Amino acid sequence: MYQYDVIDHEFLADRAAQFRDQVARRLTGDITEDQFKPLRLMNGLYLQLHAYMLRVAVPYGSLNPTQMRAFAHIARTWDKGYGHFTTRQNIQFNWVKLGDAPDILDHLASVDLHAIQTSGNCIRNVTSDPYAGATAQEVDDPRVWSEVIRQWSTLHPEFSFLPRKFKIAVTAAETDRTAARAHDIGLRVLRNAEGALGFEVMVGGGQGRTPYLAPTIKPFLPAARLISYLEAVLRVYNRHGRRDNIYKARIKILVASLGAEEFARQVEEEWGKIGEGADLPDTELARIRGSFVKVPFETVAPRSEVFEAEQTSDRSFARFVRNNVKAHKQPGYAIVEISLKAPGATPGDASAEQMEAVADLAERYGLSDIRVTHEQNLVLPHVKLDDVPAVHRGLQSVGLATSNISLISDIIACPGLDYCALANARAIPVAQSIQDRFADPDRAEDVGELKIKISGCINACGHHHVGHIGVLGVDKKGEEFYQLSLGGSGAEDASLAAILGPALPADKVADAVDKLVETYLSMRTDGERFLDTFRRAGMAPFKEAVYADAH
C-alpha cells in the first residue's frame, strides 16, 4: 500500500479540523443549511430518509487491516453495527448524527482515512482495479496512477465546484474490473508500439437517467503528460459544462452535444496552451511509485498439496475455489474474493464482526492487504495457496464464505426505498427474491456468469444500465414496478442494456429472471455466457419467454 508521510497526515488532520469548525457553525446557526450543504457534501455527509449518511473514501479500493478495524469501530460506536460497501469502492454509514461526524472524521484521520470529495460537484474518489498488484494481466500498477490523481485532485482549487460530480477510473488490465467506460474519465494504462507507457483516455461516460459509454478521445497519452491533460479536460468541462439543469450537467452531456471529435479538439487546444509545466516531475512520479511498499511474497511452489487435498475432501471448499479464488501473478499465491452477497443479506453490507474477521485474516494470511470491488465485494489480493483453506474456514465462521462471485446471486443493488430519499421502489428485497430463487448453488454455477444490477430509480446507482440483466424500479400510480433490461456490460466489452418490455410488479421479477435464465440455458452453445447468448440471439426469444402469458 501507499504509505502516507507527514505531509499527508498533517493534511488530513487539517481537513478534520476544518470540518469540525463548519459543523459547529451550522449547529449554532451561523450558516444556513443551504450554505452548509456544499460543505458537508464535500465531506461525504448526505441527508437521507432517516438520518445523515456518511460516505468514507477508500482510495482506489485499497485498505489495510487497521483501517478495516476502524470501520468496524465506527459501525459499532456511531452507527448500528454495520457498514455498506458501495459500487464506488467506498463505505457508507447510514445512521450518523451530525454532531458525531467530526469525531468520526478524527478517528478516520488517525488511520489515514477521510471522506474528502466522496460527494459534491468535485473530482470524486478515484476507483481502480481491485486485483491491482496481484493479477498477471496488468501492464503497470494502476494504483500508482490512481494515487497521482488522488493527490492532484484533492482540494483542487480550480475544480472543486464543477457543474456536477466527476468520477475517474483507472485500469491497467485486459479484463476491466472498473467499468472504465461508465466514468466521466476512464483511463486504461497501456504500452504503445514503441513500448512507451501511456493511457487510453475515455471521456464522457456515465449512468443516471441518460447513460453513455465514454468514447475514446485520445488513444495514447504519454504517461508523464497525465496531469496536464486531465487539467485540460477539466477546464473545458468547468467552463462549458451546463449549469442550468442538473440532469444535463455531467460531462457526458457536453461530450455528446459537441461530439467526441469536437470535444477532443477543444481539449487538445487547451492542452497545448497548458504545456508541460503543469505535469508532475518525474522525480515525484518515482517517489509515489516507491511509496507503495513492495509486497513481501515468499518463494513457494506453484502447486499446493494442502490446497488440492482440501478441495477433494471438502466440497464446499471446492465450490469456493471454483468461484471465488482467482489466478495470481506470483506462483503459489491466489486472489481470494469475499462475497458480501450471502443469501438474504443486503448486498454490500458487512457487520463490525465481519469487518474485524476480514482484517484478522488479511493480517494473518493476506500480507495485510484488502480491496473493495465496484461489485460490492471484498478481496484479499495476496493469499498463499497453502493458506486458502484456513481463510475459507475463517470466512465461514462469520458468514462470509458465500461462493457466488459473478454468479446470478452476486447482485448489485442500490439502497433503494429502504434508505434513499429519491427512490421509486425498493431494490434490496428484489435482490433477495432473486437470490432466493437461485439459492441452489449447483444451479447457479450451471448458469454461470450472470450480472444482475438493480437500481431503485432512474439515477442508476445500482448500475442497471450495464447489467447483463438490469432491473430498474419505477413508480406506477404509487405502486412499485420493475423494468427489466438485457445485454448491458460494464467490463471491457462495455454496452448499455436494452429494455425488455413493460415493467413488472415486484412479485413477478424473480419469475421473469427465471424465464430469462431458462431461455438462455435452452439456447446456449458451449462456453457461452448469458450475455453472449443474448448478443447472438437478440431480444426476441427472451421477450417471448417473459411476456408469453400476456398474449
Partner 1 sequence: MPTLIKRTGEGFTAAEDIFTDVADEDAIPNGPVILSMARFQAEGDALVTAGRSVGVRIQPDEAVEDLAYDLPRLALVGAVFPKFRDGRAFTTATLLRERLGYQGEVRAMGEVMRDQALFMVRCGFDSFAPVDGATPSDWAKAAGLFRHVYQRAADHRPPAFEERG
**Contacting positions for ligand SF4 (CB under 6 A):** 414-416, 420, 422-423, 427, 455-457, 459-462
CA dist 102 and 390 (Å) reads: 39
Q: Which of 186-194, 228-236, 459-467, 490-498 is the region at the interface with ligand HEM (rule: CB under 6 A)?
A: 459-467
Strand partners, 504: 482
Q: Which of 33-41, 395-403, 473-481, 518-526 is the region at the interface with partner 1 (rule: CB under 8 A)?
A: 33-41
Q: By CB under 6 A, tell whether 241 contacts ligand HEM.
A: no
Own/partner pairs for 436-443, CB < 8 Å, 24+ apart?
436/343, 436/344, 436/510, 437/510, 437/513, 437/514, 438/407, 438/408, 438/409, 438/517, 439/343, 439/409, 441/319, 441/403, 441/404
Q: By CB under 6 A, tell whether 88 contacts ligand HEM.
A: yes
Q: By CB under 6 A, tell whether 256 contacts ligand HEM.
A: no
Output the CA–CA distances (angstroms, integers) from residue 213 to 134, 472, 505, in the order listed. Answer: 27, 18, 29
Sequence-separated (6 or more) residues with CB below 8 Å from residue 133: 141, 143, 292, 295, 369, 381, 382
CA dist 370 and 353 (Å) reads: 16
CA dist 263 and 217 (Å) reads: 8
Which of 224, 217, 225 minimizes the C-alpha distance to 200?
217
Q: Which of residues 20-59 bind ligand HEM (CB under 6 A)?
A: 48
The string of DSSP letters for 34-78 reads HHHHHHHHTTTEEE-SSSEEEEE--GGGEE-HHHHHHHHHHHHHH
CB closer to ligand HEM out of 429 and 441:
429
Q: By CB under 8 A, tell whether 47 contacts partner 1.
A: no
CA dist 76 and 233 (Å) reads: 42
State the nearest-atom distance from the C-beta of 203 to ligand HEM, in Å: 13
Q: Which of residues 141-180 bind partner 1 (CB under 8 A)?
A: 151-152, 154-162
Q: By CB under 6 A, tell whether 271 contacts ligand HEM.
A: no
CB closer to ligand HEM out of 86 and 483:
86
Q: By CB under 8 A, tell whether 370 contacts partner 1.
A: no
Q: Does residue 485 contact residue 409 with C-beta atoms inside 8 Å?
A: no
Task: Give just the sign of the alpha carbon dihedral 210, 486, 342, 514.
Answer: positive
Beta 127-128 vs 168-171: how paired, if at all? parallel
Residues 476-515: x/- map of binding to ligand HEM (CB under 6 A)?
----------------------------------------
**Helix 530-537 vs helix 506-523: angle between axes, to the nearest 10 degrees?**
80
State the nearest-atom distance from the C-beta of 88 to ligand HEM, in Å: 6
Q: Which of 84, 181, 235, 371 binds partner 1 (CB under 8 A)?
A: 235
Residues 280-299: x/- map of binding to partner 1 (CB under 8 A)?
xx-xx--x------------
Residue linked to cell 460490492? 376
Q: By CB under 8 A, tell whether 90 contacts partner 1.
A: no
Q: Which of 273, 294, 315, 477 binds partner 1 (CB under 8 A)?
A: 273
Q: Which of residues 297-316 bind ligand HEM (CB under 6 A)?
A: none
Give the one entry of partner 1, ligand SF4, ligand HEM, none that residue 88 binds, where binding means its C-beta sits below a cut-off of 5 to 8 angstroms depending on kind.
ligand HEM
Q: By the criterion CB under 8 A, which residues form the site for partner 1? A: 5, 7-8, 10-11, 14-15, 17-18, 22, 31, 35, 38-39, 121, 151-152, 154-162, 235, 238-239, 243, 273, 278, 280-281, 283-284, 287
Instruction: List residues binding ligand HEM (CB under 6 A).
Output: 48, 86-88, 92, 164, 167, 182, 206-208, 250, 414-415, 419-422, 459-461
